[in-house]
């Protein structure tokens, strides 16, 4: 008997879940390394440029850029550049925020990005968002307020920078989704490394500085491989299982960030941060559940209009 779609989605391969866990660890180690560098005297813009420049070299080697024309083929150069601007903003704002915030705080705010994407998918991508998911977005925003606590003397520049990073990342994802219909996967990966490297090159003479010891050299040079291989693992995981089946598992990054923050920086999140993170994660998981329900009903209900159904979800 051939399994139906629901059975296929329910049977998420354990290997795919493990690959997502590994990618989340690499991303967590990237942020930990960046925090170490920017809190030990290195300028965040230069650290961000090194992260993308090394990533660009690895991308050219991996795709054999000297003999792969599809790597450079694009239908919309301005859109690729704008997408690169959002990625640059996400990275620089995050690295700047890490100078003053704990790893657990930045990742908690970052996890609000899926809710921003859900909210903006309607006006920007023409996707319908139902009232229940709008409520989940508002609840997630409440979680951000719990973490930052504006008006209680805890809201600072670091929180503003982290929110800017999250917003930049949200627009980067929205553009990636929109461009995915016309651009090749190879070109999206290539230009996501090329655009930031070129756009940020002017910061090198202004902020560039040599690492002071071997550890800083090592951390600076592995930022690119950590980010690049982390994204490669995510792509591999999503080839093994559906996006909806794997959607909850990136939240495991919260655990890695708390653990690495404690080991490397002796930081432990306070109860407010944990409470806010729990609210954001719960809202994100609810949105994942509602979107899964929409897809399931649109497949199983004869004559169902997905846009009408979405208004109810």
Cα(258)–Cα(103) distance, rounded to whole angstroms?
7
Q: Is 262 exposed, middle or buried (CB count within 10 Å of its CB: 0-12, 13-18, 19+)?
A: middle
In a domain, 154, yes or no: yes
Reported as a single tens digit per residue, the pLDDT across 131-152 is: 677 787 788 888 888 887 775 6
Reported as a single tens digit per residue, the pLDDT across 223-240 is: 999 988 888 888 788 778
* pLDDT of the residue at 158: 92
The pLDDT confidence band at residue 72, using thresholds 50, 70 and 90, is confident
In a domain, 197, yes or no: no
In a domain, 137, yes or no: yes
In a domain, 11, yes or no: no
In a domain, 159, yes or no: yes
Total domains in the fold of the chain: 1
In a domain, 311, yes or no: yes
In a domain, 307, yes or no: yes
Reported as a single tens digit per residue, the pLDDT across 186-221 is: 888 888 899 999 999 998 888 888 888 999 999 999
- Cα–Cα separations (whole angstroms), residue 133 to 15, 106, 182, 227, 294: 30, 23, 28, 31, 11
The pLDDT confidence band at residue 15, using thresholds 50, 70 and 90, is confident
pTM of the model: 0.82
In a domain, 31, yes or no: no
**Domain containing 163: what range?**
101-181+270-313
Q: In the chain, which ranges are continuous DSSP H helix?
A: 5-10, 14-38, 44-62, 77-97, 103-110, 113-125, 131-148, 157-179, 185-199, 203-207, 214-240, 243-246, 253-265, 271-300, 306-311
């Amino acid at each position: 008997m051939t399994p139906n779609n629901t059975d296929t989605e329910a049977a998420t391969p354990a290997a795919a879940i493990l690959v997502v866990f590994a990618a989340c660890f690499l991303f967590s180690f990237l942020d930990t390394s960046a925090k170490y560098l920017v809190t030990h005297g290195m300028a965040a813009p230069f650290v961000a440029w090194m992260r993308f420049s090394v990533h660009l070299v690895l991308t050219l080697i991996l795709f054999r850029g000297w003999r792969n024309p599809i790597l450079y083929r694009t239908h919309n150069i301005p859109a690729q550049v704008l997408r690169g601007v959002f990625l640059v903003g996400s990275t620089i704002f995050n690295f700047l925020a890490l100078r003053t915030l704990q790893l657990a705080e930045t990742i908690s705010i970052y996890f609000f990005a899926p809710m921003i994407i859900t909210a903006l998918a309607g006006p920007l991508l023409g996707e319908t968002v139902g009232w229940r998911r709008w409520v989940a977005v508002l609840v997630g925003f409440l979680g951000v307020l719990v973490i930052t606590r504006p008006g209680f003397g805890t809201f600072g520049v670091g929180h503003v920078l982290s929110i800017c990073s999250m917003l930049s990342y949200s627009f980067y994802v929205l553009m990636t989704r929109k461009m995915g219909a016309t651009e090749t996967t190879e070109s999206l990966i290539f230009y996501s490394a090329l655009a930031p490297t070129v756009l940020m090159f002017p910061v090198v003479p202004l902020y560039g500085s040599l690492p002071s010891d071997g550890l800083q050299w090592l951390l600076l040079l592995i930022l690119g491989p950590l980010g690049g291989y982390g994204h490669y693992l995510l792509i591999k995981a999503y080839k093994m299982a559906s996006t909806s089946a794997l959607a909850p598992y990136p939240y495991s990054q919260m655990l890695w960030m708390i653990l690495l923050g404690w080991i490397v920086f002796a930081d432990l999140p306070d109860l407010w941060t944990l409470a806010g993170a729990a609210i954001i994660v719960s809202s994100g998981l609810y949105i994942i559940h509602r979107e899964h329900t929409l897809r399931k009903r649109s497949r199983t209900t004869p004559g169902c209009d997905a846009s009408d159904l979405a208004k109810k979800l």
